[in-house]
Amino acid sequence: MFNRPVTLTVAAAVLVLEGLTAIVLGGYAGVETIVGSPADMGSSIAVSAFGVVIGAALVWVAWGVLRAARWSRAPGVVTQIFTLPVAVSLVQSGQYVPGILLIVAALAALVMLLAPATTRAMIDE
């Protein structure tokens, strides 16, 4: 293939980690919906499905980033931009560890996705 820049590998690793986390949390919410007694069954199912679907989409985007597919950069960047306010909200609500980890992951992915080496790898054929 070609010499893949480390920026692509790191960005893909962060995206796949975020995606797998969303899948696991969505699955956990689904199990809790089934075994528990949610106040609103429809909303609980929707949240669970959303987590799994978004997680799967992030894993797919990570695969595209790893392959240096042009289409994968924009959804990767947009995801990180939307992740930062969520992470800040976590920190502000006293959930420091997940919030700070999410901030670090989102910033790392943004830096890697916007790095010149990533641009060259995705634009050059």
Handedness of CA 91, 97, 100, 103 (dihedral sign): negative
110 located within any domain: yes
Q: Which pLDDT does position 125 carry in this prediction?
A: 55
52 located within any domain: yes
Instruction: Tally the domains of the chain.
Output: 1
125 located within any domain: no
1 located within any domain: no
Each residue's pLDDT tens digit, 13-39: 999 999 999 999 999 999 999 998 888
8 Å CB contact between 54 and 22 = yes
38 located within any domain: yes
Other CB atoms within a 10 A radius of the CB of residue 28 amount to 12
77 located within any domain: yes
21 located within any domain: yes
Q: For the chain, what is the HEC assignment? A: CCCCCHHHHHHHHHHHHHHHHHHHHHHHHHHHHHHCCCCCHHHHHHHHHHHHHHHHHHHHHHHHHHCCCHHHHHHHHHHHHHHHHHHHHHHHCCCHHHHHHHHHHHHHHHHHHCCHHHHHHHHCC
Judged against a pLDDT cut of 80, whether residue 92 lies above it is answered with yes
Each residue's pLDDT tens digit, 49-79: 999 999 999 999 999 999 999 999 999 999 9
Residue 124, C-beta contacts closer than 8 angstroms, at least 6 positions apart? none
Judged against a pLDDT cut of 50, whether residue 1 lies above it is answered with no
Whole-number average pLDDT of the chain: 94
Q: What tokens does 43 get?
A: 């909303």
Range of the domain at 40: 6-120
93 located within any domain: yes
